[in-house]
Amino acid sequence: MVNNHYAVIGGGINGLSVARQLLLDFPDSRVTVFEKEQKVAQHQSSHNSGVVHAGLYYEPGGLKARLCRRGAELVKQYCLEKDIAYDECGKVVVALNTVEEIRLESIYQRSIANKVADVRMLNAEEISAVEPNCIGTKALYSPRTAIVSYGDIAQKIAEEILEKGADIILGRAVTHLTENNKKISVHFSDNDHHDSTFDYVVSCAGLQSDRLAAHSGDIKTPKIVPFFGQYYVIDEAYKEHVKGLIYPVPDPSYPFLGVHFTKRIDGQMTIGPNAFISLGRENYSGTDYNVVDIYDFLTYRGFWRFSSKNVPAAARELRTVLSQTNFVAQAAKYVPSLANVSVTPATRGIRAQAMETDGSLVDDFVIRKQGNITHIRNAPSPGATSSLAIAEYIVKEIMTHE
């Protein structure tokens, strides 16, 4: 694989990380990255919370658990080496009652199994020592959880791979890939194709990953169903009421986590995100819509099965979509001093959530090899945290496996 020509589809943090890993492992190879936008990292890489997840929640032995732990180490190392801002602000997952305490104990046991550094349980008094304005009956404390700007990391990786000789081709949307006699052609949306053929291709297409995979001959499911998550920045005068990250205990009856406090690397404090169906896979403004994307999920059997099982969750999330007051109230359960704080809209992220035909959400990362083409089919949170480890996994294990 030393002197091969590789193509990477997608100039987000995962695609750029794969390109970097290829150049590290095979410095004499040729690597070409294709990105449909005029700049790299314009989608999920720059529309997220910025949290470097420690690996608390994930099923021990799964890809998420393994790659999140490794990825967190690599992100920290990369930021320190490249002088990128990195703040180990810590995180508390807070229980408000005995039912949540039982769930929290289960998360604690998972974090121990996943070998998360320095995690410990806190009682009510100990919570206030970490987060003076936070209330709760118990909490899981992860002091090594950190925050970064994944957009900044992606930009630095792009600079690095260009210095190593990679090509980044911007403004070309790849629609499908064809493989003949172990040579792969890259086709664009204008019915054109790239002049070169490639020995191996890695598709890191994020919100378009299912379409690119299916159009390239891979299986049609799981399909991506987009859910937006809105963040709000709290009044700067109140940002010191929270020191780091304050999260709720996940409720297994809801598919998404719920509103929480997240410190940003620029020092501002945010609350969010909610989670509701997006009227477009790339509708970051919230004021637009995409008919093709809407038709795609409305005609997908899995979406209706998911919806029928999650009516209470949809109602809860819709209230936070329609009312900033309700949004703030959800967060203020943990920090009552912020019950009346004013907020302004900030980042809106869109989660590229893979969904099966039975309506179940795919929890773990899904990475599939089809001939000499490797598709990242599902990489939601902690996808950014895990990006450098996902790249290692693909290049060192998936691509070399026949």
Domain membership of residue 105 (yes or no) is: yes
Residues 106 and 247 in one domain: yes
Helices (H), 26-135: 63-82, 98-113, 124-130
Question: Position of tokens 């002091």?
Answer: 143
Residues 384 and 251 in one domain: no
Question: Which domain range does residue 321 map to?
Answer: 88-144+226-355
Residues 233 and 300 in one domain: yes
Q: How many CB atoms lie within 10 A of CB 77?
A: 12
Question: Position of tokens 């994930």?
Answer: 58
Residues 31 and 159 in one domain: yes
Residues 202 and 232 in one domain: no
Question: Nearest Cα to 9, choosing from 28, 42, 31?
Answer: 31
Residues 261 and 323 in one domain: yes
Q: How far apart are CA 338 and CA 259, in angstroms?
A: 14
Which CATH number belongs to the domain containing residue 164 in this structure?
3.50.50.60
Question: Nearest Cα to 108, choosing from 67, 153, 138?
Answer: 138
Phi, psi of 306 (to 5 degrees): -60, -45
Which CATH number belongs to the domain containing residue 324 in this structure?
3.30.9.10
pLDDT tens-digit map of 12-71: 999 999 999 999 999 999 999 999 999 999 999 999 999 999 999 999 999 999 999 999
| Furthest CA-CA distance within the chain | 66
pLDDT for the residue 347: 86
Domain membership of residue 64 (yes or no) is: no
Residues 317 and 292 in one domain: yes
Which tokens belong to 318?
């819709």
pLDDT tens-digit map of 199-213: 999 999 999 999 999
Question: Position of tokens 């118990």?
Answer: 138
> Does 402 score more than 70 pLDDT?
no
pLDDT tens-digit map of 356-387: 999 999 999 999 999 999 999 999 999 999 99
Domain membership of residue 329 (yes or no) is: yes
Structural domains counted in the chain: 2
Q: Positive or negative CA dihedral for 233, 234, 239, 245?
A: negative
Q: Positive or negative CA dihedral for 75, 264, 224, 13?
A: negative
Which tokens belong to 370?
């089809």
> Does 151 score more than 90 pLDDT?
yes
Domain membership of residue 55 (yes or no) is: no
Question: Cβ(103)–Cβ(252) under 8 Å?
Answer: yes
Q: How far apart are CA 383 and CA 327, in angstroms?
A: 25
Domain membership of residue 56 (yes or no) is: no
Q: How far apart are CA 223 and CA 297, in angstroms?
A: 9
Residues 199 and 335 in one domain: no
Q: How far apart are CA 63 and CA 390, in angstroms?
A: 9
Residues 346 and 394 in one domain: no
Q: What is the mean pLDDT of residues 157-168?
A: 98
Domain membership of residue 72 (yes or no) is: no
Residues 118 and 183 in one domain: no
Residues 217 and 233 in one domain: no
Domain membership of residue 81 (yes or no) is: no
Residues 155 and 195 in one domain: yes
Domain membership of residue 175 (yes or no) is: yes
